[in-house]
Amino acid sequence: MFGLESLGLVGLFIGAFLAATILPFSSDALYVAVLAVTGQPVACLVVGTAGNWLGSVFSYYIGRIGKWEWIEKWFRVKPETLQRQKMKIDRYGVWLALICWVPIIGDVIAIALGFYKVPPLMCFVLMLVGKFARFLVWNLLYFAII
């Protein structure tokens, strides 16, 4: 968490945003830490959701600017592999955005949704729903335990 919890809600926003990109750390642990420090469940829910959602939107646009040639060249991914992935994205489409909250694979899904040019508006709405639900569950668990 790199001391972000000591920054309160600002740290939560920064950490939640960064955790929704390809940086490997948990926004969940940070969320619970800031919730414990501040005792403000509504503010944490709004700030955590906004930061994490905007991080996913950023990841989506990172994917959107990607090119097949770059993936093939830099990551040595075969065109057939990209085509198979595209078929999966086409099959589930925008609904994959609902699981962008899942640690690690959610970031990859957000990038893939952008890379394969899934329409952004509904993607962003479903990302927001998933992120909100995730942090709402943390609020409920936290206050059920204490």
For residue 126, the model assigns a pLDDT of: 98
Diameter over CA atoms, the chain: 52
Burial (CB count <10 Å: 0-12, 13-18, 19+), residue 118: buried
The pLDDT tens digits for 56-101 are: 999 999 999 988 777 777 767 778 887 888 888 889 989 999 999 9
The pLDDT tens digits for 8-34 are: 999 999 999 999 998 878 899 999 999
Rounded CA separation 75/17 (Å): 25
Rounded CA separation 85/9 (Å): 37
Q: How many CB atoms lie within 10 A of CB 6?
A: 11
For residue 39, the model assigns a pLDDT of: 93
Rounded CA separation 81/79 (Å): 5
Q: pTM of the predicted model, to two decimals?
A: 0.89
Instruction: Name the pLDDT band for 1 (thresholds 50, 70, 90).
Output: low
